[in-house]
Structure formats: structure tokens, C-alpha cells
Structure 1
Amino acid sequence: MIAYTTVGTNDMDKAKAFYGELLAELGAKPGWSSDTFTGFSVAPNQPSFAICTPFDGQKATVGNGMMVSLLAGTKDKVDSLHAKALALGGTDEGAPGVRADIFYMAYFRDLDGNKIAVFAPNK
């Protein structure tokens, strides 16, 4: 079971602003936070999404093949989250649409290049 995921950032202030606005669309709010880490969740007992500067002090880099997927719940929410991410400065990695007849998904990269997917069941 997933407790939380993290993606690295090289600019905590920009990442907090980007994910603060984006994840608010899913009802998530910042929970715990420090100079190097901020977690967002919909409730304290629910899985969270976090941003952090790397513990080793090195530059944050994008993991090849690494992706975080967020449950949006509805097709309309997938569309709006994808559009919001792009409006906040993210880049398109795949427009909203049906994937493998199972999911309605969209992909984007955040300000640091981390790949994020948002999805809803294709019902």
C-alpha cells in the first residue's frame, strides 16, 4: 500500500506554488512542511504526495521511467487538471484520452521535469 510518493525539486518555492494550486483541485492541502519537504494530502490518514529537495544535497533529476499517477475520479477532472498543470507552466506529455480501453488519462511534466499522470476509470 502506498503511504506517500515524492518527487524532487530544485526550487521548493516554485514547486509548492505549482502543486499547491494543482492538488487543491483534488481537495489536497499542504500537510507537513519544512525548508526541504512539503507533503500534500486530502486527509491525515490518506496517502500523500510530497515534493522535496534531495537529501544528498545533489541536484534533483528526473527518474527515467519514473512516473506518479494521481486518481482524478472523473474525465472532466482529468481534463481540468491537465489544463491547470499546463497553465501553471507544466509541459504536455500526452493529451487527455482513453488508454488501453481501461483508463481516461493525461500526462504532463512539472516544472522540474517529473512525469505525472492523472486518470479516471473509462466508464
Structure 2
Amino acid sequence: MINYITLGTKDIEASAQFYEKLLEDFGAKRLVNMDRIKYIGKNMKEPMVAVCIPYDEQDPRPGNGNMFAIAPGSKEKVDVMYEKAISLGATCDGKPGQRVPKLFYGAYVRDLDGNKICFNFFG
């Protein structure tokens, strides 16, 4: 259903490298490499992350309440993704933990530009 999400960035190359490294264990790589936008994913038919210089060239601003979630497949992998993101320069916005008993385990970070990411496991 979702083709891609677009995140504005001040430093397109640093942002593209962050998402390439963060998502490499899912088989993601840079698929499109234009000056203003870069797409990172497994292929063009599965969900991708796009990073771009905003069209109006103003400083990008993360949306209030906007977030995207990545489901790596287990609680242990949520922890791994959280630690990997932090090691790549993300900031903590909620350490890994059980949020809803027996239902939702999650961890939250902000990327290099302040966009919010959730790593989660349902079950």
C-alpha cells in the first residue's frame, strides 16, 4: 500500500548514508541518486524512504505528530535497530521497552534532521 515516505533534510548525503546503513540488514540500498532526492529501499516495488532537499529550499522541519515505523520482526531486533540508529547519530526519543502489555514493544529515535522513527514489534 505505501510506496515511499519523503523526509526533508539539510544534508542530503549524510541523510542518505544514515538510512542506507540503518536499513542495510533489510536488503535496502540507494535506488535513485539524484541531486535533490535519494530513494533507499530493496526495490522500486516495495516501500522506500526518500530523503530530499525541500522544494522551497527552506530548512526542513519534522512534522508535529509525524512518525514512521519499522517492524524488524522481534523484540531483540527492535533493540538492535535502536542501538544501530543511535550509533549512526540518531537521538533517543524513547528507549526500547514494552509499551502495551503483550501487544506492543517499541523504541523511538530522531534521525539527523529530527524526524521521528519507531522500531516496533506487535505480539
Q: Same fold (TM over 0.5)?
A: yes
1:42 maps onto 2:49 in alignment: no
Q: Which runs of 5+ in 2 are unaligned?
A: none
1:1-123 equivalent positions in 2, closer than 5 A: 1-101=1-101, 102-122=103-123
The aligned amino acid for 1:107 is Y
Alignment partner of 1:76: what SS?
helix
Amino acid at match of 2:15: A
Q: Name which of structure 1's ranges 35-44 and 9-18 shifts more when overlaid on structure 2.
A: 35-44
Contact 2:16 2:40 in 1 (8 A): no
Q: Percent same amino acid at aligned positions?
A: 42
Does structure 2 retain, via aligned residues, the 8 Å contact 1:105–1:120?
A: yes
Task: State the shift of 1:64 in Å.
Answer: 0.8
Cα offset, 1:26, TM superposition: 2.3
Which one-letter code corresponds to 2:87 in the other structure? A
Which has the higher mean CA deviation after the structures are superposed, 94-103 or 9-18?
94-103
In 2, Cα distance between equivalents of 1:27 and 1:75: 20
3-state SS in 2 of match to 1:60: coil
Task: Report deviation, 1:37.
Answer: 0.9
TM-score between both structures, scaled by the size of structure 1 = 0.92
How many residues were matched structurally? 122
Instruction: Give the Cα separation in 1 of the matches to 2:51 and 2:72.
Output: 19
Deviation of 1:46 after TM superposition, in Å, equals 0.8
3-state SS, counterpart of residue 26 of structure 2 = coil
Give me the CA root mean square deviation.
1.2
